[in-house]
Chain A
Amino acid sequence: MNCQAFDNIVSDLARNGMVDAAISQDGLDHASECDRCSDRLSDERSLSNALRSLAETDLLIQAPETLESSLLGAFRLATAEKNSAPNVAVLPITARHSYHWSVAAAAAVVAALLAIAGVKVLNLRSAGPNVIPQNVAVTPAYEEQKEPGSVPAPDLSSGKEFAPILSPTPVQRHQNRKYHPGLQNAGYRPASKAPVESIDVPSQAQEIATDYFPVSYASSLSPLESGRVIRVELPRTALASFGLPMNMAQANGSVKADVLMDDYGAARAIRFVR
């Protein structure tokens, strides 16, 4: 074996790596004859020992304990989101960055056509017997840019979990909102032209909610530019996770929550709804 060949295997020799026994023996024989290669092997062995010491030293290093709880919270949210996926109502809250603008434009055209068709159907019905439409779905096509921030925890103990009305729900905002010309393409019509009193949304219209609480791990993420709100159901014990009082007698129950998700699907803030 010459020095070039020895150089190719010296690392494996020093690391006790996978080297053929005959080649290994040739290398050791060469090192015993060549001073420079002997020094090289010695250096490599010293390096292996030093690296082993470093590995042993670092072996006890662990991630901070707080990380586990943060990730566990994120896991619970993600699981709750998955479990409630069929009932999820995705509410677009901003359109600042529209990566699929062409798809959105096509959807708007389709929505406009459907709206026109809907108006025609209503007109036809109004000509006949006066039938009040039931369960008309309201497209929550309002825009919202909500910065999550912590607020003093409301008293949610006992039966009256959300005593103070901290903010109107999306539906309330939707109903209070004045007609926005930009929503015309999404099929939205001003209240004066639509039979609002016949729209059946009693459960959401009477909802009250807390303000948004930031999710703890989200503080290290980049500022929220856009996102969406997803309605989920969480175990009632989630209230305690955010420092809210909880009625222990109802600990096994569930509570509705709106989760503010960013564009990458990470939960950024949450609020509880009753």
Chain B
Amino acid sequence: MPTMTDTICQDSDEELLLRMANGDEESFVTLYRRRQAAVYRFALQMSGSPSVAEDVTQEVFMALIKDCSGYSAEKGKLAGYLYGIARNHVLRRLERERFTVPIENGTDDDMDVISPVDNTSDPLSVLTRNETVENVRSAVLALPAHYREVVLLCELHEMSYVETAAALNCAVGTVRSRLHRARAMLVEKLGAQTDPKPSSSSANSERCFA
């Protein structure tokens, strides 16, 4: 016999949100557990800081608790709405902390949190894969924020152009062009890391467009 939780887990985000608005605690917990990882991951990938990611995740769900009427199903899925709130909070934090220098060196902590998955027995493969992942992570973090968010949502969070556009409150064409430009920048950065010859990167950027 299915339990109450099992039944609720089948429900859509919107149904859970409706019940949550009526004070159903179980719906809130289900919704939180369903969406917290993606929100936290997005904030972490955007900021590179676990503490910022935690704060942002809290703000996102606090906003939902305080007033979930801000979400309208006509504008897109709830996931996109949550990403949108998270994105605004991250950008605000990044803007606020742009002129501050962290006292502690958070690199080691970040590495602990973002520990690569070890699912291969071959140590060399694991090492190569981890190195690649960290290079890509660094390259993504180095992108300007408006390119980074598009890469994260479209590539890492597997959202469509339409969903991403709804989350970022911009046109689909904007998403498409930003992703295209962001990928070119990533290729250039990663190409420069593997092949540090300056002529190589300049040659890549001067491909024939005839």
Q: Which A residues fall within an 8 A CB radius of B? A: 2-4, 7-8, 11, 15, 34, 36-37, 39-40, 43-44, 46-48, 50-51, 53-64, 67-68, 70-72, 74-76, 78-79, 82-83, 217, 220, 264-266
Q: Are B32 and A47 in contact (CB under 8 A)?
A: no
On chain B, the residues within 8 Å of A54 by CB distance are 133, 136-137, 140, 156
Q: Which of B6-56 contact A (CB under 8 A)?
A: 20, 23, 25, 28-29, 32-33, 36-37, 39-41, 44-45, 53-55
Report the Cα distance A258→B61, complex, angstroms: 23
Q: 1/0 per residue B142-156: CB within 8 Å of A?
A: 000000000100011
On chain B, the residues within 8 Å of A63 by CB distance are 36-37, 39-40, 53-54, 57
Q: Are A47 and B187 in contact (CB under 8 A)?
A: yes
B79 CB–A CB distance under 8 Å? no
B62 to chain A, nearest CB (A): 6
Report the Cα distance A75→B33, complex, angstroms: 14
Contact of A74 among B65, B113, B190 (CB under 8 A): B65
Closest to B180 in A: A11
Q: Are A7 and B183 in contact (CB under 8 A)?
A: no
A83-B117 CB under 8 A given contacts A7-B209, A63-B37, A71-B65: no
On chain A, the residues within 8 Å of B58 by CB distance are 67, 70-71, 217, 220
Q: How many residues of B contact A (CB 8 A)?
A: 51
B186 CB–A CB distance under 8 Å? yes
On chain B, the residues within 8 Å of A64 by CB distance are 54
What are 26 A-to-B residue pairs whose CB atoms are below 8 Å? Answer: A2-B209, A3-B207, A3-B210, A8-B180, A15-B155, A40-B187, A47-B183, A53-B132, A54-B133, A54-B137, A54-B140, A56-B117, A58-B156, A61-B113, A61-B114, A62-B40, A63-B37, A72-B25, A72-B29, A74-B62, A75-B28, A78-B65, A78-B66, A79-B25, A83-B23, A220-B55
Report the Cα distance A264→B59, complex, angstroms: 12
